[in-house]
């Protein structure tokens, strides 16, 4: 009886996993089909003559290499800047008086409740006044404000669990706030940092809205816009469209697999979200 229940549990879990991974598997299989061949009327799971050349072909069809370079540049700037601004703000928040902490907490929660669409109109104006439209900084700008209040809060919750005497002692020894942040706080927040790296990477790598709103010069187009251009180019060329989708998705999956051990294992989930 107990064995049957455990067996059923495993079977249901496997079915769920298959269901959630199926779209990706279909995309990968379709991306390797022969371009121009009539689509089969049954589902091919994996084409027998896999056309790996499809991946090279989309680089010739649209300036994929440039989109890729721009996307990588955005991520390479935005992730470290976000780590810096979010961890500094989270650290400062955890060290201030209770009253200041509460104020900043309310500020952050209010920020979380502002829908993205409500800043489109005037962020466009502000970027325009600052002369940042059509530059990479239009895409990276939110990183200077920690990208998301959530990241500041994750660091704040993490640092608040560190016994305050640790920082107090360092301070009495003459350590500056910068030193406490770098030598004591950051090494204690590795789990949070990994979580923030994944989430920030995904945020900027996937960002479709900002380039659509703030970038008009094709020289600064990023991959998400590139994929949309590929789609407008030939909306029914499924193998090539899927190849584009796979190219965009693979880096995220690789990063996720490399870091998920820290991210989703039983303990780090608690580390990330436990307000302790």
Partner 1 sequence: MHSRLSYKAQLRIFLLPYVVGSLILVIIPALATVGVAFTEYNAIQPPQWAGLANFVKLFNSPLARISLRSTVIFLLVAIPLRMTGALLLALLLQSRRRFFTFHRAAVYLPTIIPEVAYAIIWLWIFNPLYGPLNWFLGLFGVNDIAWLTDPATAQAAIIFMSLFTIGEGFIVMLVGLQNIPLAYYESAEVDGATNWQAFWRITFPLILPWILLLSFRDLIIAMQGTFTPAFVMTYGGPNYATTYAPLLIYELAFDFFDFGMAAAALIVIYLVLVMLIAGVLNIVSGWGDNA
Which residues, numbered 190-219, are part of the site for partner 1 (CB under 8 A)?
198, 202, 205-206, 208-209, 212-213
Q: Is 224 in the site for partner 1 (CB under 8 A)?
A: yes
Q: Is 17 in the site for partner 1 (CB under 8 A)?
A: yes
Q: Is 42 in the site for partner 1 (CB under 8 A)?
A: yes
| Cα distance between residue 212 and residue 66, in whole Å | 17
Q: Is 93 in the site for partner 1 (CB under 8 A)?
A: yes
Give the residue, chosen from 65, 126, 188, 258, that forms a contact with partner 1 under the rule CB under 8 A: 126
Q: Is 34 in the site for partner 1 (CB under 8 A)?
A: no
| Cα distance between residue 20 and residue 22, in whole Å | 6
Q: Min. distance of Cβ 219 from partner 1 in angstroms?
A: 20
How many other C-beta atoms lie within 10 A of the C-beta of residue 224?
19
Give the residue, chosen from 121, 131, 165, 187, that forms a contact with partner 1 under the rule CB under 8 A: 121
Q: What is the secondary structure of 171-202 as a DSSP string?
A: HHTT--HHHIIIIIIGGGGHHHHHHHHHHHHH
Please, how many CA atoms are within 13 Å of residue 20, restricted to the half-sphere of its CB?
Answer: 6
Among 67, 17, 37, CA closest to 207: 67
Per CB under 8 A, the segment of 51-59, 60-68, 72-80, 256-264 that binds partner 1 is 256-264
Q: Min. distance of Cβ 67 from partner 1 in angstroms?
A: 11
Q: Are 156 and 98 in contact (CB under 8 A)?
A: no
Per CB under 8 A, the segment of 46-54, 56-64, 170-178, 186-194 that binds partner 1 is 170-178
Nearer to partner 1, 26 or 50 (CB): 26
Q: Is 101 in the site for partner 1 (CB under 8 A)?
A: no
* Total chain residues near partner 1 (CB under 8 A): 94
Q: Is 122 in the site for partner 1 (CB under 8 A)?
A: yes
- Please list the alpha-helical segments (H only) found in the chain: 2-31, 53-61, 64-95, 98-112, 117-129, 136-140, 149-160, 164-172, 177-179, 190-206, 209-214, 223-233, 238-263, 266-273
Please, how many CA atoms are within 13 Å of residue 226, restricted to the half-sphere of its CB?
Answer: 27
Nearer to partner 1, 65 or 270 (CB): 270
Per CB under 8 A, the segment of 15-23, 60-68, 72-80, 186-194 that binds partner 1 is 15-23
Give the residue, chosen from 7, 11, 12, 233, that forms a contact with partner 1 under the rule CB under 8 A: 12
DSSP assigned state of 257: H
Among 118, 91, 67, CA closest to 229: 67
Give the residue, chosen from 51, 101, 135, 249, that forms a contact with partner 1 under the rule CB under 8 A: 249
Per CB under 8 A, the segment of 53-61, 158-166, 186-194, 220-228 that binds partner 1 is 220-228
Q: Are 193 and 140 in contact (CB under 8 A)?
A: no
Q: Is 227 in the site for partner 1 (CB under 8 A)?
A: yes
């Amino acid at each position: 009886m107990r064995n049957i229940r455990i067996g059923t549990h495993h079977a249901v879990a496997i079915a769920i996993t298959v269901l959630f991974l199926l779209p990706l598997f279909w995309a990968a299989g379709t991306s390797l089909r022969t371009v121009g061949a009539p689509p089969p009327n049954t589902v091919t799971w994996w084409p027998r003559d896999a056309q790996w050349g499809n991946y090279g072909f989309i680089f010739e069809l649209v300036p994929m290499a440039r989109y890729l370079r721009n996307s990588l540049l955005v991520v390479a700037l935005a992730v470290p800047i976000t780590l810096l601004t979010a961890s500094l703000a989270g650290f400062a928040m955890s060290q201030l008086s209770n009253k200041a902490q509460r104020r900043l907490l309310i500020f952050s929660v209010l920020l979380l409740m502002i829908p993205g669409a409500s800043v489109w109109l005037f962020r466009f104006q502000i970027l325009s006044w600052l002369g940042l439209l059509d530059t990479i900084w239009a895409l990276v700008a939110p990183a200077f404000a920690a990208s998301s209040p959530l990241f500041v809060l994750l660091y704040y919750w993490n640092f608040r669990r560190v016994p305050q005497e640790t920082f107090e002692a360092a301070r009495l020894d003459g350590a500056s706030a910068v030193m406490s942040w770098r030598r004591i706080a950051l090494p204690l927040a590795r789990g949070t940092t990994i979580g923030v790296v994944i989430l920030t990477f995904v945020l900027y790598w996937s960002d479709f809205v900002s380039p659509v709103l703030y970038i008009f010069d094709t020289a600064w187009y990023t991959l998400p816009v590139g994929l949309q251009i590929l789609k407008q180019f030939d909306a029914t060329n499924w193998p090539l469209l899927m190849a584009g989708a796979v190219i965009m998705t693979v880096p995220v999956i690789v990063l996720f697999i490399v870091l998920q051990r820290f991210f989703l294992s039983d303990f780090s989930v608690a580390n990330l979200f436990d307000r302790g």
